[in-house]
Amino acid sequence: MTVETFFGCAFLAYGLPLALFALTIAKDPVRIIVLILSSFFWLLSLLCSAILWNVVVPLKEEIAFGLCFSVFFQELFRLFIYLLLKKADLYLRRLTESEPTQIFLNPHLLAYTVGLGFGLMSGAFSLMNVLADALGPGTVGLAGQPQDFFLVSSCMTLCMILLHTCWGVIFFSSMDNGQYYLSLYVFISHMLVSCLTLLNKRYLYVASVLPAYIVLALTGVLAARQAGVTIASIKKAIKGGSDVLAVPVQDPVQ
């Protein structure tokens, strides 16, 4: 069952995110560049977390300490990439004038791409080692523990990837519109969902997965509202008419 477990968990965790990448990102080389850039920024946040974890020797054994500062650095680098892209916005639009692309005309699409980049890199690091162990040797639950560890890990990975995507849209929109309480919501909800994973150490899987997906549902609705998504735009996107994210009217580049 080890091979079946490996592929089942891998498709559960990465199937939907990779489908989002194939349908919305892969067709545009500029979007791919932005996604890779955002993934690199997430790696930088991981590097900063690792440096701090090694420096603060007395707390190295406390998982909660490393987790909290990891969330802090991820949100800090989300802010950094927002400021970087805003600073480079005018030059990037001029760069793509010869080959028109919507990503720099639509801030919601840009935020979605950055969020998905954060999520894909986060998901890759959170589940790869688990999937490697799923191939064996050994069987989960021999000592009386629950046998749902791989399934729960995959569900939480999928949840975090989608949450990062939604958080990206909410955070960028909140910074653009001066709604800083939404930026605070992103940080608090990120910290909450991350801390819920600490319950898995005690095998309280329902207590971690169920609240995390409730947060995902609320965050998804909030992200859709911030992006101006409507039922009409969803129907049009399904029919292949356009992107589901609303494109605001902007002044042409001078």
Q: Is the pLDDT of residue 253 over 50?
A: no
CA distance 46 to 35: 17
- Residue from 170, 187, 188 nearest 179 by CA: 170
Long-range contacts (CB closer than 8 Å, 24 or more residues apart) made by 128-132: 130/9, 131/6, 131/9, 131/10
Q: Rounded mean pLDDT of the chain? A: 84
Please check whether residue 253 lies inside any domain of the structure: no
Angle between helices 29-55 and 107-134 (to 10 degrees): 60
How many separate domains does the chain show? 1
Query: pTM, whole model, 2 decimals?
Result: 0.87
For residues 23-28, give the mean pLDDT: 89
For residues 155-161, give the mean pLDDT: 95
Least confident of 26-30, 85-89, 190-194: 85-89
17 prior amide bond cis, ω within 30:
no
Q: Is the pLDDT of residue 247 over 60?
A: no
For residues 206-231, give the mean pLDDT: 91
Please check whether residue 64 lies inside any domain of the structure: yes
CA distance 42 to 74: 6
For every residue of 133-176, DSSP letters joined together read HHTSSS-TTTTS--S-HHHHHHHHHHHHHHHHHHHHHHHHHHHH
Please check whether residue 74 lies inside any domain of the structure: yes
Please answer whether residues 194 and 67 qualify as being in contact, where contact means their C-beta atoms are separated by less than 8 angstroms.
yes
Please check whether residue 251 lies inside any domain of the structure: no
pLDDT recorded at residue 102: 57
Q: Is the pLDDT of residue 173 over 70?
A: yes
Please check whether residue 67 lies inside any domain of the structure: yes
Burial code (b: 16+ CB inside 10 Å, e: under 16) for 82-105 equals: beebeeeeeebbeebeeeebbbbb
Q: Pick the residue with more confidence: 2 or 10?
A: 10
Question: What type of residue sits at position 128?
Answer: M
For residues 96-101, give the mean pLDDT: 54
Please check whether residue 243 lies inside any domain of the structure: no
Please check whether residue 100 lies inside any domain of the structure: yes
Please check whether residue 88 lies inside any domain of the structure: yes
Which residues form the domain of 97?
Answer: 2-238
Band of pLDDT at residue 200, cut at 50, 70 and 90: confident
For residues 235-254, give the mean pLDDT: 54
The residues, ordered by sequence, that sit 6+ positions from 196 with a Cβ below 8 Å of its Cβ are 207, 208, 211, 212
CA distance 118 to 39: 5
For residues 177-203, give the mean pLDDT: 92
CA distance 97 to 99: 5
